[in-house]
Amino acid sequence: MYWVKPTTEERALPVDRATKQAWLIWTTAIVVYVAALFHRTSLGVAGLEASERFGVGPAALGTFTVLQIGLYALMQIPTGLLVDRFGPRRVLTAAALLMGTGQVLFAIADSYPLGLASRAVLGVGDAMTWVSLLRLAAAHFPARRFPVIVSISAALGGAGNLAATVPLTLLLGGAGWTWTFLVAGLATAAYALVAFWRLRDVPAGVVVPVLQPEPLNTVLRKVAHAWRVPGTRLGFWTHFSTMSTPAVLGLLWGFPYLVEAQGMSRSAASSTLSLLVIGAITSGPVLGSVIARKPELRMPIAGWFLGGALVVWTVLLAWPGGVVPAPIVLTAFLVLSLGGPISGIAFALARDYNPMHRVSTATGVVNVGGFAAVTGSALAVGVLLDLFDWLPPAQAYRIAFLALAVMLVIGVWRTAVWWRRARTAVFEAEARGEDVPVQLRRRRWDAYTAA
């Protein structure tokens, strides 16, 4: 059996409507998430400055993102456990403090090791935000509103991404490296006081159950059980394939690619990079509402996007000479921008196909998928750029970006495999007379999968 009805204890938060307090708490929390997205992607347009400041090449520059995102991925399951143990209010407050501290250290860092340490601190703080925000939303809003709140939260988080494009480029050119990152870090650390004061773990009048620390073997069993669920595995690979390539472009390699390989000015490159954010912000709420009303369309939408992404990378990598006309680059970035909102499908799969007491663990497992792909891709691109630095930039980036295309192909393959297996699990459950979260229509190829 792949899903379990919630028990009485799991219905401990009887929220039937969104109150003013719920919106106030959500607004307070979303500011921390917006800050997290800004800090996470701030190296996207500052990569060239970072290379000059620390005197490093592409591989060492990629290590900044690999370390930050790698720690983010590793922290997902521990973050779920921390939220279960201490509550989202304390964890989100700690996240703001850590992010602020990390960015302050990055502002004053004058050596490569200190720069790495600062991005590590920032990555740990960043890792604590999304899971905490989801827990607050689940506690304070009715279940029917949850998918919409999640999509709106993700779209608003894009404001942090947007601030890390053109505005950050202008600030770096005017105020300089130290003051830009110093003010951003101090403001985030100071906001931790607001978060601790305004946030509440559960609605007023609801008793928070006291949770005891779980033994390591119990935690590992929960992770193993979540991983064995076909819906969790499908969510993992959906997140892996949909969000990885646009994230790598936005986090680090998009700006250098546009400036060095495509010959754009820095202002034009930051404007083009902002399309990744604008596309996600505008499409996120629309996709969220469609998926909430018609959950059976989740995977077909993901499938159409992955097909479009394969076409995009085929065009970018196969274009003669490697210098792609600007309109095609703009179109490619707009298509890839849909990957972020569509990756939210993965969390809906984790929620639907796991019992409530294991949803946080399954969500962490799913979130690891995308960020593991980002970590591997970012490192591979940096290493390949170092190896082929003797080539013209357009040719070197074309070879390096093959790593992104390969990662996408792997993700599409595994997503297709687990999409078929998850559908088979649903049909088998229906045949046993069990209730299933989403009604699926049988296709001709489902018979071959079952066989």
DSSP collapsed to 3 states, 50-88: HHHHHCCCHHHHHHHHHHHHHHHHHCHHHHHHHHHHHCH
The CATH number covering residue 288 comes to 1.20.1250.20
Among 201, 221, 247, residue at a domain's last position: 201
Among 201, 222, 255, residue at a domain's last position: 201
Residue 370 lies in a domain: yes
Residue 258 lies in a domain: yes
Same domain, 291 and 384: yes
Same domain, 159 and 266: no
Q: Pick the closest to residue 352 from 413, 286, 424, 439 (CA basis).
A: 439
* 8-state DSSP, 3: -
Same domain, 241 and 384: yes
Among 183, 201, 219, residue at a domain's last position: 201
Domain tally for the chain? 2
Same domain, 280 and 337: yes
Same domain, 76 and 121: yes
Which tokens hold the place of 244?
């990885």
Same domain, 235 and 179: no
pTM score, whole prediction: 0.79
Same domain, 144 and 262: no
Q: Pick the closest to residue 418 from 239, 234, 236 (CA basis).
A: 234
**What pLDDT sits at residue 209?**
56
Q: How many CB atoms lie within 10 A of CB 169?
A: 22
Same domain, 241 and 197: no
**What pLDDT sits at residue 444?**
66
Same domain, 86 and 146: yes
Same domain, 376 and 240: yes
Burial of 207 (0-12, 13-18, 19+ CB in 10 A): exposed
Q: Pick the closest to residue 355 from 7, 14, 77, 15 (CA basis).
A: 7
Residue 216 lies in a domain: no
**What pLDDT sits at residue 449?**
54
Domain that holds residue 379: 230-451
Same domain, 315 and 400: yes
Q: Pick the closest to residue 397 from 317, 283, 299 (CA basis).
A: 317
Phi, psi dihedral angles at 261 (to 5 degrees): -90, -35
Same domain, 405 and 268: yes
Residue 1 lies in a domain: no
State the 10-residue block means of pLDDT for the chain, 451 residues long.
43 60 92 91 79 83 81 83 83 95 93 92 92 84 74 79 75 85 93 93 67 68 86 94 88 86 88 84 81 83 94 94 91 92 86 74 85 87 89 91 94 93 80 72 62 55
